[in-house]
Chains A and B, each alone.
Chain A
């Protein structure tokens, strides 16, 4: 095609190049070039164009503006029900480009060969600066430059509304600006595509002033919801390939068993089945799904494993965690809020609260067990069809397992059950097994974990314990706060099938593993009680429980789950805050305000102001009765329910939260019923009120479920829960009245992370309410009847 090239233009550090085409067509594609660390972490050190990827060295597309004025956006973040990529991302792009929401007609998310930036389904709003916002801002500037040239009007005199650029009495649409041209904007990025956080767009293009937002702030609907509800969406579970086989995996007897002998298949009964053994990985493939299930059951009964008893079991968990874990496995971390000399103040304090708090392992427990369909082709290309929070990271992990390069691996992302963090590091469980079985049989293989596989062979949110000390002065204020948080490594991203098969994976979490997969336990619960003069928070990390002792290097594998690390640190802090308030004889909300406030309203920090804002909001909305805890009528015995209320607060990703739970507890049975749950949230600018409200409501329910019910039960060999009866979650009958107060706070100038943290607020508020109602405190989770009853009867 004939074309005329023009001199590239500089757009705030990005480069715009243009070619006029003599034929119709044209597109403005915003691409990027690599700057910074290696693009690929796994397999290759060459920074060259990677096959089956959007070309990182040549411009490729984040955003396409089409001649018909429609717009397409791409993101590596694979929405898991948060709705962000289909609502907030479209709103953010629409406002930066000054186009209507509806102009963004297509969102491509997750597929490793069709999206540019990788990373996982978390922190979608990226501290107010998600990649897609910067991409849109760069694009907007480039379009203005083009319009200025086309219209002969200086850029400063141009205005855009609904995708029409106007100035000097003339106007042109975005579509007309890109028509018949191929325009490439090269923008700077850094990072590593297959790492957990993917690539980040660099630079500082001018952003639209917050005061001019017209699309952000409105409750747009999620287009994917409509297709899911109408049974028109293709889920990962729906993908079928020609010649595909169904498979089930026979997982080892314990989390440390090695294979003695694989079961013999009853070929007469299961003529179309086949057993595949690779190290300690035993799979059964069959032409039909029902045969695969039955054949795998038969093979499992006949498969012999070694025994292993290397776990502490629930009863001894916290004792062994404290005494027998290697807490020198990682350097002790201190928070940025460290100040003063709390040890000295605590030593001389005459009013002091000192206690230990314990949190159990919890399951992510997606409502559908993990599954994947893999097609390892004769030329070595691997296609994986699955639901995954971080497809690019999965790509790297599979490449490593197969001794190949990520360009050989393509992950096709589909909707699936929410994982709540379990696959944000690239795998949820079945993907690697599907690849290995497909490779073995030379056909596409679909591995579906059964419910028991998902309960017993997936990762879990790690157990933790904390020692908290608080000293009070004579004015009932905190003079010193000291916290020591202990937790095994938060995130093991080794694909378990690869581990069982004895194939290469990243190393198990240790001090050298990077970022989230390290044994280092960072303080991730930002300190919010800003007027406290002496603060020390320390994080102590260690190896996963049983992993080093396990002959197959498995043990209790951990993985971040919704509000990870912070959940484990905020529950002890906030429950201790309630106890300290009770010790001080001060109302628990007022106590928080007093310890945030400088004493002079005018000099309160912005941090204190926002915290006080959510606390006041939740106090008013919940009908909170201001008084110290416990309640004057607190009772810890008897068959009649007694009532209490408790509060909690948290800051995460620029968003302030406060929550009040009103409960009724029956001392004789230990049964807690949450009757009212009120939560206030100030994320700065609210992008989409309806979607935020729905996410907060969901997080509330999950948080109550964590607080009241959830605990991984295990013996010395492995997890003993295998279904929804043995690992119960909250049902509809159990939910309280839920009231959500959304505080739109535009003067913050940005949007904070929306809804993830809603799950963290319930546990400390309910535990405080239990204390308020009964005068007794339970410093462990979950608050299940057995534990509550035992505590109340002592």
Chain B
């Protein structure tokens, strides 16, 4: 039995310690944000935040994550934002994370399969750099993780625009 801290909730998991976190999240905890793209940390579809840092859940063993470490999946982004901004419970319920709002307003996804990882990467970036330039966005999505975050539909332009849009929403505080 392992204990995980996922999206602010302690969860007990019964799985062998070498099980990749991705399968624990998807199959045991029904958290479907992260997707299986390659199983090799080469694409980013499975990304989650662990203590605010993007991690590839497909190559992160269950035993690699300590009980005190905070795992945030796509499902946990709204609560993460609400906590950071001190929103009331009611406000938090109806709010999406600014990154998610921007992804919708900019109509960023095509098939959308990689976009979990793209939104996780955007959140990581904007938490450390609230107003990134295009060059910084390109660098973050290409060089900061274990591999570039790959999109086969070619939505990179829309992602850049959405990151910039999210930055403006975050700057307004909502």
Contact = CB atoms under 8 A, between A and B. Distances in A.
A237 interface: yes
A691 interface: yes
Nearest to A418: B111
Contact of B27 (A221, A289, A418, A738): A289
A215 B34 CA distance: 36
Contacts of B150: 367, 724, 729, 731
B78 to A, nearest CB: 8
B114 interface: yes
B113 A697 contact: no
Interface string A420-464: 100000000000000000000000000010110000000000000
Interface in A355-413: 365-369
22 contacts: A80-B110, A221-B107, A231-B31, A231-B73, A235-B35, A367-B45, A416-B113, A418-B110, A418-B152, A448-B36, A450-B39, A691-B107, A698-B155, A723-B42, A724-B42, A724-B147, A731-B148, A732-B141, A732-B148, A733-B139, A733-B142, A735-B156
Contact of B153 (A81, A234, A415, A416): A81
A290 B110 contact: no
Interface in B1-59: 15-16, 18-20, 23, 26-27, 31-33, 35-40, 42-43, 45
A728 to B, nearest CB: 9
A697 B108 CA distance: 11
Given A231-B74, A290-B23, 7 more contacts: A229-B108, A289-B27, A366-B113, A369-B36, A694-B107, A699-B154, A735-B157
A420 B113 CA distance: 14
Contacts, number: 175
A732 B37 contact: no
Nearest to A454: B38
B104 A221 contact: yes
Contacts of B16: 290
Interface string A691-709: 1001101111110010000
A733 B157 CA distance: 11
Contacts of A222: 107
A230 B142 CA distance: 24
Interface in A45-88: 80-83
Interface residues of A, number: 56
A228 B154 contact: no
B158 A732 contact: no
Contact of A367 (B39, B108, B147, B151): B151
Interface centre among B18, B142, B150 (most CB of A within 10 A): B150
B123 interface: no
B159 interface: yes
A416 B27 CA distance: 17
A221 B31 CA distance: 26
B160 interface: yes
A725 interface: yes
A432 B111 CA distance: 23
A207 to B, nearest CB: 28
B164 interface: no
Closest 9 CB pairs of A and B: A701-B154, A81-B110, A81-B111, A698-B154, A733-B142, A418-B111, A417-B113, A731-B148, A724-B42
Contacts of B38: 369, 451, 723-724
Contacts of B43: 367, 724
Contacts of A226: 104
Contacts of B116: 231
Given A230-B96, A697-B157, A366 B39 contact: no
A317 interface: no
Nearest to A677: B157
B132 to A, nearest CB: 12
B129 interface: no
